[in-house]
Amino acid sequence: LICCSQTPHILAFLSEEIIGGHEVKPHSRPYMAFIAFVDVDGRSHSCGGFLVKDNFVLTAAHCRGSSMKVTLGAHNISIREETQQIIPVAKAIPHPYYNLKDYSSDIMLLKLERKANRTKAVRPLRLPRRNVYVKPGDVCYVAGWGQLAPKGKLPNTLQVVELTIQKDQECESRFSRRYNKATAICVGDPKIKRATFNGDSGGPLVCKNRAAGIVSLAYSDGSAPGTFTRVSSFLSWIQKMIKHC
């Protein structure tokens, strides 16, 4: 059982902006987590994530770093809102098969130093049901803070974009060996400009009020589709880590 290790490694794809989305009603996505961390070169970064248990946040494995800290209950991330709960990360638990070369198993659990208090602004998101899968054409949502767009004048409030699940072949031709349909989902219609995106890495793809995916890999020009980690492929690992770590 690999619960945690301390060495941060090179980070390749960090938060990018949501393109073609709109601001959400404040606290309408109470599971959203803003994750701040420092990379090996000492630079600050952020990722999205989501609360799955009172003391566990799920995110992408490539969002790993040191001094990790989670903010829950936020809307405008650049101010200290009363609804916010800021909790340091006690343990980062990246999936043992996570591989920087092909981004397979890009999933990580963060155990928080203490439990979050459930409020109207802070509440976990449900994991997908076993053996229930998203299919091409399903419409889902991704939210993120779009914090790090270079020089962009961003409001720093939570944004959301609607995205459509694509056929696996779309991502197999675009990402070749970096797309594995057993562990990833292909998301975002290339024909709809409005809906193309680079959602905050680590944020949830929410389909029918459950966490179907995790923002993983896309081209930096924001063109669709992108690849998301398929949460349903990791349910046993998630449950085991939450129980034992």
Ligand X SMILES: *[C@@H]1O[C@H](CO)[C@@H](O)[C@H](O)[C@H]1NC(C)=O
Our finding on whether 157 is near ligand X (CB under 6 A) is yes
Report the residue number, 66 or 76, with the smaller CB distance to ligand X: 76
Report the residue number, 5 or 119, with the smaller CB distance to ligand X: 119
Our finding on whether 155 is near ligand X (CB under 6 A) is yes
> 212 in the Ramachandran plot: left (φ > 0), alpha (ψ -120 to 50) or beta?
alpha
Of the residues 15, 46, 104, 201, only one is catalytic, namely 201
Whether 22 sits among the annotated catalytic residues: the reply is no
Adjacency order of strands within the sheet including 159-164 = 22-23, 159-164, 139-144, 204-207, 210-217, 226-230, 184-187
Whether 168 sits among the annotated catalytic residues: the reply is no
Our finding on whether 40 is near ligand X (CB under 6 A) is no
Whether omega before 190 lies within 30 degrees of 0, making that bond cis, reads no
- Which H or E element spans position 33? strand 32-38
| Total residues in contact with ligand X, by rule CB under 6 A | 11
What b/e readout covers 43-66, taking b as 16+ CB neighbours within 10 angstroms?
A: eebbbbbbbbbebbbbbbbbbbbe
Report the residue number, 85 or 198, with the smaller CB distance to ligand X: 85
Q: Which of residues 101-120 bind ligand X (CB under 6 A)?
A: 114, 116-117
Whether 62 sits among the annotated catalytic residues: the reply is yes
Report the residue number, 67 or 173, with the smaller CB distance to ligand X: 67
- Which H or E element spans position 243? helix 235-244
The residue ranges that bind ligand X (CB under 6 A) are: 76, 78-79, 85, 87, 114, 116-117, 155-157
Query: Active-site positions?
Result: 62, 106, 201
